Homo-oligomer: A and B are copies of this chain.
Amino acid sequence: MIVTIQLYFRMIAIIVSTNRHHSKSKQVAQFYQNLLTNLNAETQIIDLAELPDDFARTALYENNGKNENFNRLKYQMREAEKFVFVVPEYNGSFPGVLKTFIDGLGYPSELLHKKAALVGISDGVQGGALALSHLTDILNYLGLNVLAQRVKIPFMKKNFVEGEITDPLINKLIAEQAELLVKF
C-alpha cells in the first residue's frame, strides 16, 4: 500500500509580480528559490507573465472564476501557505497587473491568514520603497501577514549581476529574510 501525503501547506510560492516576459523579477525569483531550497523549503514560482492577455476582463466581475488559464494560477496561490512577492517598481509603485491579479482572486481571498515576505527591485535609487508600502496595505487588508523585514534592491544593474546579488549588505538582508520567512 502506498500512501501519498501532499504537504501543500508547507509550500512557499514566489510571485513574479509583473507580466513582462523574461523579467529581471523572474531572475530574482529564481535566486530566491535557491535560498529557500537551501533552507529545505518546498517552493514554486508563479510568473504573472503567464496570465491570460485578457484576464482583466475575463477573470473579474461577472466573469470571476470562469477563465481556466487564470484559475490555474489561482489554484497555485491556494496551495501555498507562504509567499515571496518579487516586486519591480513601476511608476512609483508596483505593477498594476499585480493588483489586477489580486482583484481576480475572489473573496475571501486565497491570501487570508497566510504569510508573506516582500522584495522590491528597481533600476533607480528607491528599490520600491513606496511599492512595498502600498502592497503591505493591500495584503494586510486581505488578511495576509507580511514579514517586517522588507528587502529592497535598488540600482539593479549594479547590484544584481548574472543571477547573483553583488552587494554584501543586501545579500545578508535577503538571507536573513528568507530564514525569518521559513520560521514566520
Contact = CB atoms under 8 A, between A and B. Distances in A.
A39 interface: no
B134 A93 contact: yes
Contacts of A60: 19-20
A166 interface: no
A91 B138 CA distance: 6
Contacts of A58: 53
A138 B101 contact: no
Given A95-B99, A96-B101, A145 B148 contact: yes
Total identical chains: 4
Interface of A: 19-21, 51, 53-58, 60-61, 90-103, 109, 113, 125-127, 129-130, 133-134, 136-150, 152, 154, 180, 184
A99 to B, nearest CB: 3
Contacts of A133: 130, 133, 137
A141 B92 contact: yes
Given A91-B138, A143-B148, A143-B149, 18 more contacts: A53-B58, A54-B54, A56-B97, A90-B103, A93-B99, A95-B99, A96-B99, A97-B100, A125-B125, A125-B127, A129-B129, A130-B133, A133-B137, A136-B136, A141-B148, A145-B145, A145-B146, A146-B148
